[in-house]
Amino acid sequence: MSKWNIDPDHSVGSFSISHMTVAFVRGQMNGVSGTIDYIPGDYSSLAVDFKIDVGSIMTGIKKRDEHLKSEDFFNIKEYPAIHYKSRASERAGFNSVTISGDITIHGVKKAVTTDVYLSGPVKSPFGETTIGITGRFVLNREDFGINWNQPMEDSSFMVGKTVNISFDLEGDLVE
């Protein structure tokens, strides 16, 4: 098995969620760390284990970022990270792998399956051998106990339930 460390300088988690049913709020979390096990060419060998530091959340609006970090949403004092750990993987297509695993958000663990795009390995001009993994989860935030909302005049709600979480990981070969 080849071990790859996730490069936090070149990896990111991002999200989008409906706001007032008329637009999407987008943000990102740069604090990504973890490991990847993968033998190049053996797609069933892919194993991913990463954490996203929720305290690194950025939407471009400081007041909104602070609200997202509060007990109303992520409660980063008690639940500082989103954690994903895969359990199984299989080839789904050209450089595409279906991975199944568990994601833990806000202290709640749920099984998820998604397709990821795998690229590399490539050798950088600085000598590292690097792979990339790009994927996305579509989740209901209320399944993770993140329930804050405000009703609107038309009987809809200020914040959507469905959140799209994307991740872009670069892993550097260590063994």
**Beta bridge partner(s), residue 68:** none
pLDDT of residue 30 exceeding 80: yes
pLDDT in tens, 62-101: 999 999 999 999 999 999 999 999 999 999 988 999 999 9
Domain at 3-173, CATH homologous superfamily: Lipid/polyisoprenoid-binding, YceI-like (2.40.128.110)
User: How far is Cα 83 from Cα 32, in angstroms, rounded to an integer?
Assistant: 10
Average pLDDT over residues 13-29: 95
Phi, psi for residue 152 in degrees, rounded to 5: -110, 165
Nearest CA among 114, 93, 113, 119 for reference residue 171: 119
For the chain, what is the total number of helices (H) and then of strands (E)?
A: 1, 11
Ordered by start, the domain boundaries in the chain are 3-173
Output the average pLDDT for the chain. Answer: 95
Question: Residues 6 or more apart from 21 whose CB is under 8 A from it?
Answer: 152, 156, 157, 160
The upper half-sphere exposure of residue 79, i.e. CA atoms within 13 Å in the direction of its Cβ, equals 19
Per-residue pLDDT at 156: 87
Confidence band of 1 (pLDDT split at 50, 70, 90): low
Question: Residues 6 or more apart from 66 whose CB is under 8 A from it?
Answer: none
Phi, psi for residue 63 in degrees, rounded to 5: -60, -40
Per-residue pLDDT at 155: 87
pLDDT in tens, 120-140: 999 999 999 999 999 999 999
Q: Where are the alpha helices (DSSP H) in 40-145?
A: 62-69
> Which two three-digit tokens encode residue 132?
């990339």
